[in-house]
């Protein structure tokens, strides 16, 4: 297979990956540090027969993205922390109505307007619990420009297969860095399309699931008429106050993700085979952490890195196994410990778990993490 290399910015690679996955509709609103995604999508989509629309705000951007997906088009929107907050109500609508789409969040310092041009990883918990109520979540977090391209394709595949919004978390560092990308890598990633009904329109039940817990999804305007609501609903799509119907719906929404964790969860293990101390880090922070692992190894310290690529659902069984094989786990994040508490919950019975964080708008410094690690291990 011949390789096609191109020097890309992270945000540019996101658009390239989305188009490779089949995206033909983008709706959103510009916001630093994700604006390049909108700009590049506005240039590239019309050239392939797709559509770009700038909405009046982030709320409308999320609504239009859901509308594009209901019409049968692979759809995406992108934002940063404040805009991600505004999208949450409609994101919840996408979860209960089972509308596949991809929502990119290029994180910056917060809260509120915060540090618009500085990196952070402060939206980890917002990705999990940002919208109200219990709901399924798939959130992915690449750490390189190549991986942004590949994981964006994966995000669309998971959204289409499981009929759910998928969140793609980036940070300002990887969103704006430039690296060589092999665009031919898409040839090794099968493209997934949503399951569509095969029955006659008169027999279609839009929320009647098969054994895989995923209902077939008809395109609006294709002759299959159905009702979409943010209320609890039965298999016809119409609202229901029946508690048994609500329970069945909620269990299916959660279980279609939880029962498929082996397919959804992705991670990298680096030098963990004989590790006695393990770091847990993701995104740009994992790049700095890998440097610390290599430095510690050169000094005879058996260090390793567990890097979750799937942030949600939590790689619980993998983290539990990690805790059974190492004495010390250090979670490194550009926040005040959002992922740390999840790792601690899973791992604290078997190993010591500590936290190193930075939340001043500066990247995690390998030298400072190294010094912290030496203190912990002394």
> For the domain that residue 128 is a member of, what is the CATH number?
3.40.50.970
Let me know if residue 259 belongs to a domain.
no
How many folded domains does the chain comprise? 2
How far is the C-alpha of 148 from the C-alpha of 283, rounded, in Å? 10
How far is the C-alpha of 257 from the C-alpha of 90, rounded, in Å? 20
Which residue among 127, 162, 188 closes a domain?
188
How far is the C-alpha of 362 from the C-alpha of 263, rounded, in Å? 34
The per-residue pLDDT of the chain, averaged, comes to 97
Q: Given this model, what pLDDT does residue 302 score?
A: 98
Q: With a cut of 80, say whether residue 344 has pLDDT above it.
A: yes
Same domain, residue pair 160 and 281: no
Q: With a cut of 70, say whether residue 1 has pLDDT above it.
A: no
How far is the C-alpha of 233 from the C-alpha of 11, rounded, in Å? 37
pTM of the model: 0.97
Percentage of the chain surpassing pLDDT 70? 100
Q: At what angle do helices 81-97 and 58-70 cross, to 10 degrees?
A: 30
Percentage of the chain surpassing pLDDT 90? 98
Q: With a cut of 70, say whether residue 57 has pLDDT above it.
A: yes
DSSP 117-155: TS---TTHHHHHHSSSSS---EEE---SHHHHHHHHHHH
Whether residue 151 contacts residue 17, with contact meaning beta carbons closer than 8 Å, is answered with: yes
* Integer-rounded Cα radius of gyration of the chain: 21
Q: Record the tokens describing residue 263, joined without a space.
A: 């397919």
Which residue among 134, 164, 188 closes a domain?
188
Strand order from edge to edge, sheet including 165-171 = 51-54, 25-28, 75-79, 101-107, 165-171, 138-140, 310-312
Whether residue 71 contacts residue 220, with contact meaning beta carbons closer than 8 Å, is answered with: yes
DSSP 148-160: HHHHHHHHHHHHH
Let me know if residue 372 belongs to a domain.
yes
CATH of the domain at 304: 3.40.50.920
Let me know if residue 46 belongs to a domain.
yes
**CA distances in angstroms from 147 to 2, 155, 273, 280, listed in the order given:** 19, 12, 23, 18
Phi-psi map region of 20: left, alpha, beta (phi>0 left; psi -120 to 50 alpha): alpha
Residue with tokens 């590949």: 150
Q: With a cut of 70, say whether residue 343 has pLDDT above it.
A: yes
Q: With a cut of 90, say whether residue 177 has pLDDT above it.
A: yes
Instruction: Indicate the length of the chain as a whole number.
Output: 378
Let me know if residue 239 belongs to a domain.
no
Q: Give the range of the structural domain holding residue 56, as residue numbers without chain letter.
A: 5-188
User: Before 99, cis peptide (omega within 30)?
Assistant: no
What's the average model confidence in pLDDT over 276-305?
98
Same domain, residue pair 30 and 132: yes
Same domain, residue pair 125 and 19: yes
Query: How many angstroms from the chain centroid is the CA of residue 330?
Result: 23
Q: With a cut of 90, say whether residue 173 has pLDDT above it.
A: yes
Task: Compute, in degrees rounded to 10, the torsion defined by CA atoms 62, 64, 67, 71.
Answer: -130
Same domain, residue pair 169 and 272: no
Q: Give the model's confidence band at 3: pLDDT under 50 very low, under 70 low, under 90 confident, else very high.
A: confident
Q: Given this model, what pLDDT does residue 367 score?
A: 97
Condensed to tens digits (0 to 9), the pLDDT of residues 293-320 reads 999 999 999 999 999 999 999 999 999 9
Let me know if residue 116 belongs to a domain.
yes
How far is the C-alpha of 116 from the C-alpha of 108, rounded, in Å? 6
Span of 61-70, 185-194, 282-291 with lowest mean pLDDT: 185-194
């Amino acid at each position: 297979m011949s390789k096609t290399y191109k020097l890309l910015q992270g945000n540019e690679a996101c658009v390239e990956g989305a188009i490779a996955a089949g995206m033909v509709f983008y709706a959103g609103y510009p916001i630093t540090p994700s604006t390049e995604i909108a700009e590049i999508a506005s240039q590239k989509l019309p050239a392939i027969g797709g559509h770009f629309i700038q909405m009046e705000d982030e709320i409308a951007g999320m609504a239009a993205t859901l509308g594009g997906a209901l019409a049968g088009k692979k759809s995406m929107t992108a934002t940063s922390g404040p805009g991600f907050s505004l999208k949450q109500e409609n994101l919840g609508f996408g979860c209960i109505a089972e509308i596949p789409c991809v929502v990119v969040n290029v994180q910056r310092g917060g809260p509120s307007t915060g540090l618009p041009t500085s990196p952070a990883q402060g939206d980890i918990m917002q990705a999990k619990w940002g919208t109200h109520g219990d709901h399924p979540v798939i959130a992915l977090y690449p750490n390189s420009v190549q991986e942004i391209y590949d994981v964006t394709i994966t995000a669309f595949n998971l959204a289409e297969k499981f009929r759910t919004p998928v969140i793609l978390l980036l940070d300002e560092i990887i969103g704006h860095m430039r690296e060589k990308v092999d665009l031919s890598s898409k040839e090794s990633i099968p493209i997934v399309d949503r399951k569509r009904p095969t029955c006659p329109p008169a027999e279609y039940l839009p929320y009647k699931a098969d054994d895989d817990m995923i209902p077939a999804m008809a395109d609006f305007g294709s002759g299959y008429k159905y009702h979409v609501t943010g209320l609890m609903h039965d298999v016809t799509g119409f609202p229901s106050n029946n508690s048994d119907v609500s329970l069945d719906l909620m269990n299916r929404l959660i279980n279609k993700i939880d029962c498929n964790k082996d397919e959804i969860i992705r991670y990298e293990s680096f030098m963990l085979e004989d590790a006695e101390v393990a770091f847990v880090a993701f995104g740009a922070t994992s790049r700095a952490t890998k440097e610390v692992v290599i430095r510690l190894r050169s000094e005879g310290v058996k260090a390793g890195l567990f890097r979750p690529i799937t942030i949600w659902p939590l790689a619980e069984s993998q983290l539990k196994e990690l805790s059974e094989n190492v004495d010390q786990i250090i979670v490194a994040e550009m926040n005040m410990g959002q992922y740390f508490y999840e790792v601690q919950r899973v791992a604290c019975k078997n190993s010591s778990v500590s936290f190193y964080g930075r939340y001043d708008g500066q990247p995690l410094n390998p030298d400072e993490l190294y010094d912290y690690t030496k203190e912990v291990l002394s």
